[in-house]
């Protein structure tokens, strides 16, 4: 009996460690942009760049460029419901959906560190997977490819955290059912 209790205690500690690491890795997805556009012309040089986070947009343009891009930053509601390039592409639902799934992943992951509930662990895993799919969707839709550095860091971090969330869920299944 004591041996079983020790085994479940070790599984619970391992589960919490993996989940904490998963939440820390996943938090990177909130602070790193998920998409960027850079326009360069041979005659004029740098024209404009737009960088998209799930919660903000930053646009820059060179003084000599004649584009309709207005330089500056927009945050939260101004970004989500304003007149932006991402709205023009028909993707205005994407940033708020991604932000909600990121917050849901971190919130349910944090709760799951302290409470080993199967439902909460399943929701955090599903939200992490949804965030990863939402990150990839604009590039599939727009037929644009990610830069190699982006794939090597951003997607690999979210994929790593997804593996850790899945591991947490499987370890919770191994624990005795708690009412």
Q: Is 58 inside any structural domain?
A: yes
Q: Is 22 inside any structural domain?
A: yes
Q: Hunting for tokens 């993707």 — which residue is that?
A: 91
- What's the confidence (pLDDT) of residue 179? 41
Q: What is the pTM of this model?
A: 0.79
Nearest-angstrom CA–CA distance, 143 and 106:
30
Domain region containing 68: 11-174
Q: Is 5 inside any structural domain?
A: no
CA 156 to chain centre: 11
Confidence band of 65 (pLDDT split at 50, 70, 90): low
What tens digit of pLDDT does each residue of 14-47 get? 889 989 988 988 888 788 787 777 777 666 666 8
Q: In CATH, what number is assigned to the domain containing residue 31?
A: 1.20.140
Count of structural domains, the chain:
1
Q: Looking only at Cα atoms, what is the longest distance across the chain?
A: 77
Q: Tally the C-alpha atoms within 13 A of residue 6's C-alpha that lie toward its C-beta.
A: 3
């Amino acid at each position: 009996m004591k041996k079983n209790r020790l085994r479940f205690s070790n599984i619970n500690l391992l589960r919490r460690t993996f989940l904490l690491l998963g939440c820390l890795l996943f938090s990177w997805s909130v602070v790193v942009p998920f998409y960027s556009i850079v326009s360069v012309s041979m005659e004029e040089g740098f024209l404009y760049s737009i960088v998209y986070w799930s919660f903000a947009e930053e646009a820059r343009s060179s003084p000599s460029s004649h584009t309709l891009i207005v330089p500056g930053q927009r945050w939260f509601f101004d970004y989500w419901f304003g007149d932006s390039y991402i709205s023009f592409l028909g993707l205005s639902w994407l940033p708020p959906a991604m932000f909600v799934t990121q917050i849901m992943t971190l919130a349910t992951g944090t709760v799951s560190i302290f409470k080993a509930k199967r439902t909460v662990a399943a929701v955090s895993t599903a939200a992490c997977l949804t965030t990863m799919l939402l990150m990839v969707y604009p590039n599939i839709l727009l037929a644009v490819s990610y830069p190699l550095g982006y794939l090597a860091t951003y997607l690999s971090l979210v994929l790593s955290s997804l593996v850790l969330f899945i591991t947490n869920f499987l370890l919770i299944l191994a624990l005795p059912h708690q009412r």
